[in-house]
Structure 1
Amino acid sequence: MTLVDITQQLADMAWGPHMLVLLVGGGLFFLIYCRFIPFRYIGHAIDIVRGKHPDDGAQGHISHAGALSSAMAGTVGMGNIGSVAVAIMVGGPGAIFWMWISAIVGMATKFFTCTLAIMYRGKDENGDVQGGPMYIITQGLSKKWHFLAVFFCVVGLVGNFPLFNANQLVQIIREWLIIKPGYYPANESTFWIDLSLGIVVMLLVASVILGGIKRIASVASKVVPLMIMIYMGCAFYVIATHVTEIPYYFSLIITEAFSLNSVGGGILGTMLIGIRRAAFSNEAGIGTEVMAHGSAKTNEPVKEGLVAMLGPAIDTLIVCTATAMIILISGVWQGGEAQGVNLSAQAFEITMPGVGPYLLILCVVFFSISTIFTQAFYGGQCFAFLFGRKKLRFYQYFFLCAILFAATASLQEIVNIIDAAYALMAIPTMVSAILLAPKVRLASKLYFAKLANNH
């Protein structure tokens, strides 16, 4: 049995129908339980990000905008390019519809989990304030639940390795900048090329992640808005030049989502593929983004919950949809052997001849590197909770070495490993959020009542 077979079995076991109940069912519970109230304050959430409601003297490390940028650097990444391509190839166009549904309920999930991130922050051995599912569990729940905090961190060490992003970054550079121009034969082993590119990526990442969350937030707040603008500019061009085809593809996405003969294996199969890929893309309910928002400089939990709620809307409803439209319009999803980011690159080549793939490469560099920065912080938080912050350098060195494994492994092995880890991370994150949901609802009532009185 190969590594692909082993990892595939692990991923399939982790992503059974129970995950549908946990992530989508849990998100629906949050959506109804909060009575859709946070959704009425999206404008207020944007004002918070813009700095209109500062928290003077608040605890934390980074601003609301920095927290959102750091979280978005972790979510708006290769999941929006390579993972959408995987979703369409494996589940057909209908998988995109279930990604949308997952994003809508994911907005409610992020509101609850990231409000709790501020409500139940803990302190590390240095006395510094930290946030994340492990602190929500240890600070908010009784000791009988504390094993879930350890479980989350152990699985989080694997789930936050930079496997997918490093793999896809190396893949697109190798295929489009080395093999396609003819600098290397297409039919020969690329191991040494992949390893060399992996070393370059590793050194670049090391220069930033060894500086901690403040440096990560500083880089992310500059890079994330720029990379989204470039990528969405390409998407708008493609959509504008094929505007008459857009209604057809939206209709195709919806009809395929409910087709008994869909590529993904019927409605349930397509639904699971869409939810699986959405979880990888926007991370709602997984718990990683909770760690970024838990570092925000604020004493008002609901404010950070509102800021976090913007994440899935930007990530999945806007960026992933743009990628899906480019792939569907190009027609590359209907045949060929390209996988992941290379499928997206082929779509860009068809819809934006000549310049398209190279603009995508520029975006991929931004997307993947900034996501790796944030993953290093997430994994470091898990490691520090388990072993102490003084030993964090050991994890960071191991994290950097994982880039070399990712650069030389197959895409299927990488996807299976991350999928399995993400599913397991969702269990403690969602269970703790559901148990503590009444606390969030009470805090929301008080916050929104105070906000109404101030107006």
Structure 2
Amino acid sequence: MLTQLQDSIIQFSGWVWGIPLLILLIGGGLFLFLYSGLVPFRYMRHAVAVLRGKYDKHDSPGDLSHYEALSSAIAATVGMGNISGVAIAIAEGGPGAIFWMWLSAFVGMATKFFTCTLSVMYRGKDEEGNAKGGPMYVITEGLGNRWKPLAIFFAVAGLVGTLPAFQANQLTQTLVDVVGISPENTATSKLVFGIVIALITGTVIFGGIKRIGKVAGKLVPLMVVLYLLTVLSILMLRIGEVPEIIQLIFTDAFSGKAVLGGALGTLIITGVKRAAFSNEAGLGTAPMMHGTAKTNEPVREGLVAMLGPAIDTLLVCTLTALAILASGIWQGFDGNGISLTLKAFDSVLPYNLGSIIICICVLIFAFSTLFTYSFYGFSCLSYLFGKRIGAYYNWIYIVTIVIASTIKLKFVISLIDSAYALMAIPTMVSTLLLAPRVRRAAKDYFSRLKSNFEAV
């Protein structure tokens, strides 16, 4: 029975990530990219100023500063999707999948600008009057109650999509690979690791969004710097191969030769899926976090959110991909996910430094993601049944960590991919319908900014 369920979910994942969803995510994102007139992209310096706290006002509604909101959102994206997800993209789609991840990131920046501007523009409130954001509130507050079934659809899909299955699965796999546990003891060891991970995660997530924001604000800079220094070291050691690798990414992107069956469409879908897993643009998770930002200016938070895919996919994922491809291990490697990344790093760095550093990075990445995702699931359950019932989500979350630590990677990926696909539908539909309101708000905000008036 369980095997049949797993097979059904794997088949559904392959079906739902078809051409219609590809058109909605990439086509919709490209429309938003062009519809914005590229205006937000011209204000990247201003976005950094907002992020640094220049415009912070402590009496503004919300729970997190701009920096804490972006750090928490990045904590969810700069994680296992960058270390393990990129390896999966290369294993399934070859080097060309990275090109389609890049394309998704560019349009994803525009998508995040629109979705996260809307998340502040149409915030809801819980029973205690606290500001809440996310596609479910954007739909009901922006489109009206007659669209509420679409909001419920998102929240239900979000309960599955924000489960910690992938992070827990790959974190325990990393520990097993690095420690060198024998095959006969692997299952028991994963279970033990899962219980320990669940206990550590619980100490943070039961403290609520403010504690999550503060922890993420400290972890994110540390993990990004450590990881980037490691990857840059690998690239320096293989610097002569980098130009050829970059050329391979572009040529393979349009050949599809690395994909089973040689299907270019499959290659594109692989890249888009892994980019969606990496930066979450268009899925609706990040707006839930950015919707809690302390601000009265929706456009400001949209600008800050736009930095996410640039940091996550264009920078971190690219460097990870170059490091894996430079190692040469990816060709003919009998494995996937984190195991490929570990092998690639160890093949270049001496004394197993690759495994040690990756293990440290994975611990930081995975825990930061685990902390943040709990808030997303809590938000979805609270929207459906109220904050009192939503509080029980953290217990479900903790149990899921233990279970996910012991199941197969392919099933985990298919489960999360399926939920992400379903989440993208209401998120993108509502964003496209409300896009004119964002453009009007952006025009007003940038006009005031140019006039040197303080945006209120």
- Assess same fold via TM > 0.5: yes
Correspondences of 1:158-173 after superposition (within 5 Å)? 158-173=160-175
- Which of 437, 440, 446 lines up with 2:438 in the alignment? 440
Q: Distance in 2 between matches of 1:3 and 1:195?
A: 22
Q: Which position in structure 2 is the counterpart of 1:276?
A: 273
**CA displacement 1:356-383 (0-9 Å, x = unmatched):** 1100000000000100110000000001
- C-alpha contact (below 8 Å) 1:3/1:413 kept by paired residues: no
- C-alpha contact (below 8 Å) 1:4/1:412 kept by paired residues: no
- C-alpha contact (below 8 Å) 2:93/2:256 kept by paired residues: no
Q: Distance in 2 between matches of 1:357 and 1:260?
A: 31
Following superposition, the deviation at residue 72 of structure 1 comes to: 0.3
Q: TM-score under structure 2 normalisation?
A: 0.97
2:417 pairs with 1:415? no
**CA displacement 1:254-288 (0-9 Å, x = unmatched):** 00000053325322111110000000010000000
* Unmatched tracts of structure 1, length 5 or more: 180-184
- C-alpha contact (below 8 Å) 2:95/2:249 kept by paired residues: yes
Tell me, what secondary structure is at the counterpart of 2:56? coil
Q: Distance in 2 between matches of 1:3 and 1:127?
A: 41
Q: Which position in structure 2 is the counterpart of 1:356?
A: 354
2:73 pairs with 1:76? no
Following superposition, the deviation at residue 53 of structure 1 comes to: 1.7
Q: Which position in structure 2 is the counterpart of 1:182?
A: none
AA matched with 2:333? G
Q: Distance in 1 between matches of 2:215 and 2:58?
A: 24
AA matched with 1:423? A
Correspondences of 1:200-279 after superposition (within 5 Å)? 200-263=196-259, 265-279=262-276
Q: Distance in 2 between matches of 1:326 and 1:142?
A: 48
Q: Distance in 2 between matches of 1:27 and 1:47?
A: 25
Tell me, what secondary structure is at the counterpart of 1:296? coil
Q: Distance in 2 between matches of 1:206 and 1:110?
A: 29
Q: Distance in 2 between matches of 1:7 and 1:323?
A: 29
2:321 pairs with 1:324? yes
Mark the CA change 1:73 to 1:260 in structure 2 (over 3 Å): closer, same or farther. closer
2:302 pairs with 1:300? no
AA matched with 1:433? T
Q: Superposition RMSD on alpha carbons, in Å? A: 1.1
Following superposition, the deviation at residue 351 of structure 1 comes to: 1.5
Correspondences of 1:374-413 after superposition (within 5 Å)? 374-413=372-411
Following superposition, the deviation at residue 5 of structure 1 comes to: 2.0
- Which of 24, 27, 30 lines up with 2:26 in the alignment? 24
The ranges of structure 1 where at least 4 consecutive aligned residues each deviate by more than 3 angstroms after the TM superposition are 1-4
Higher deviation after alignment, 93-102 or 385-394: 385-394
- C-alpha contact (below 8 Å) 1:376/1:399 kept by paired residues: yes
Following superposition, the deviation at residue 142 of structure 1 comes to: 2.5
Q: Distance in 2 between matches of 1:410 and 1:328?
A: 25
Q: Distance in 1 between matches of 2:54 and 2:256?
A: 49
- C-alpha contact (below 8 Å) 1:326/1:351 kept by paired residues: no
- C-alpha contact (below 8 Å) 2:96/2:256 kept by paired residues: no
Q: Which position in structure 1 is the counterpart of 2:150?
A: 148
Following superposition, the deviation at residue 392 of structure 1 comes to: 2.5
How many percent of aligned residue pairs carry the same amino acid?
Answer: 52
